[in-house]
Chains A and B, each alone.
Chain A
């Protein structure tokens, strides 16, 4: 029986020749991830199930990135607990604020060479699906599943069916991978891919950068998807060669491709040239509107960054639109490079000077404002354009604040104009 790309990776990790949608399997894991919100409850479970070691100290990754730099005493205590655990079990990939490899989890795992094609990864963070961009299977779980996987290196899955998104053509200049994924979520809805894989195929794939593919897979969960995944091509291999040189040299990766006659529950053909600049209105990512199709909506804050759009390419795009311009009077623009590496590169390339000249504040890498944690919480009635991934009620602060999701060009143009705008609105 023919299999999708996701099914092939799962079959290989379950030591099975083939699997089919709906089948329950037990799979070996290549990497297990937790953050400062999900790890503390997992450590309690880890003790309760009587574990006395992790399955592999190189493969359990702990990244305290949400409420760090510690926002309050409780967060500091949570991080202290994680730090003690990491030291006790001598974890290779525990990251402390300021270390060269530190940053937002889904930005640093690929950058630190911890993800390669064909891997099976779970993380106690819903945006773990980001890594599908590299041709890996990756999905989010909760703290109990994290604890059991830290102990055993295994977990169970129900094999997902898949939607095939056939990408054709090329995005218009100024339109990004973020616009594409928002557009697709608008098309199929926030439960349009529930329990399913979102597999991206077709000639248009080659036109998308790795940063864009990471952004697209990052938001598969916002359509209810179990995972998003891209085929492995020259860009993927060049990325692995750069960020995971050891694994690349030793060929420690596996390229899986969907069978030509793989069974998809649905096939959606997307003409990339027709994807518009897209904004998701409150309070669901599926509430998409085309930039230019609505009246002026004044805004109070703009956030550029996060596991969705905090990569070096995003910083460069932001600089392109902010160079020589000023943030609108009374508006706050917060830019968060996604990792120490992105921070250092942005500094070296002179991007921070452009940001600061424009009137932006440049923050440490953190998830903070995306989930209303700290470093940019919204007051009652405030509106924010954000390059993050969720615009639920109260997501970035007060329950009566509003979040509009967009790509970096729209976010920066909006910061300059003071209302939701596109690059074409800039002088």
Chain B
């Protein structure tokens, strides 16, 4: 499984309140949530993001609330993958359950710039930066996580089983 897209770069501790502010949590509709994704730190995100694009950020991505609406909003906005040195633990679990690919790589987080084009191979964990011709190695997913992501999340995975 591979993904290719442009990078939206953010800093450390991107919290769930900026990923999807609580004022929009009176719905769980993915497209409605996607319409407000990242709006408190980047008002232009929703207008610029294209299917396949990626978020690269600093450590502790997704800290804060347990709202599954956060990975839902990111995924529904078209983001194919989030790369960060570390993820908050509830977000990590929710992202996998929602079938949103996430990779831990301090190297990529440090080297990648906003707007770079990346190609990510989820089988090998290899991240290729097509803009500056660099490669970074992240830990690949174990088999069962790959199957969850391929099944579009835990529900699809359980139903396939």
Contacts and interface: CB of A to CB of B under 8 A. Distances in A.
Counting chain A CB atoms within 10 Å of each CB, which of B60, B69, B86, B89 scores highest?
B89
B133 interface: no
A142 B66 contact: yes
B78 to A, nearest CB: 20
B68 A143 contact: yes
A135 interface: no
B94 interface: yes
Contact of B159 (A48, A71, A124, A148): A48
Given A41-B28, A144-B154, 9 more contacts: A38-B66, A45-B155, A49-B155, A140-B66, A143-B28, A145-B93, A284-B13, A373-B23, A390-B15
A49 B64 CA distance: 27
Interface in A265-290: 284
Contacts of A395: 17, 22
B97 A144 contact: yes
14 contacts: A37-B69, A41-B28, A41-B68, A48-B155, A141-B94, A143-B94, A144-B97, A191-B60, A221-B64, A221-B90, A224-B60, A224-B89, A371-B65, A392-B18
A372 interface: yes
A401 to B, nearest CB: 11
Interface string A115-158: 00000000111101000000000001111110010000000000
A148 B21 CA distance: 26
B64 A191 contact: no
Contacts of A38: 66-68
B5 interface: no
Interface in A29-64: 37-38, 40-41, 44-45, 48-50
B60 A144 contact: no
Given A194-B88, A226-B89, A124 B66 contact: yes
A78 interface: yes
A72 interface: yes
A165 interface: no
B63 A191 contact: yes
Interface residues of A, number: 46
Contacts of B63: 190-191, 224
A4 to B, nearest CB: 17
Contacts of B159: 48-50
Contact of B154 (A78, A124, A148): A148
B41 interface: yes
Interface string A362-386: 0000000001110001000000000
Q: For the side of the interface on B, what is the size category?
A: 35 or more
A45 B157 CA distance: 12
Nearest to A35: B66
Contacts of B93: 141-142, 145
B44 interface: no
Contact of A394 (B17, B28, B59, B158): B17
A393 interface: yes
Interface of B: 13, 15, 17-18, 21-23, 25-28, 40-41, 59-60, 63-69, 72, 86, 88-90, 93-94, 97-98, 153-155, 158-159
Interface string A143-177: 11100100000000000000000000000000000
A224 B86 CA distance: 11
A228 B47 CA distance: 40
A67 interface: yes
B28 A44 contact: yes
B155 A394 contact: no
Contacts of B23: 372-373, 377
B25 A37 contact: yes
Interface string A63-88: 00011000110110010000000000
A72 B26 contact: yes
A195 interface: yes
Given A142-B97, A144-B153, A399-B40, A194 B89 contact: yes
Contacts of A141: 66, 90, 93-94
B67 to A, nearest CB: 6
A50 B27 CA distance: 23
A49 B27 CA distance: 21
A194 B59 CA distance: 10
Contact of A125 (B18, B59, B66, B97): B66
A33 to B, nearest CB: 11
Contacts of A125: 65-66
Nearest to A42: B68
Contacts of B40: 393-394, 399
Contacts of B154: 144, 148
Nearest to B22: A371
A40 B13 contact: no
A190 B67 CA distance: 18
Given A41-B68, A142-B94, A191 B28 contact: no
A395 B19 CA distance: 11
Contact of B94 (A37, A66, A72, A144): A144
CB-based closest 7 A-B pairs = A142-B94, A74-B26, A191-B60, A142-B68, A371-B22, A144-B97, A394-B40
Contact of A390 (B17, B86, B97): B17
A78 to B, nearest CB: 6
A317 B56 CA distance: 45
Contacts of A44: 28
Contacts of B27: 74
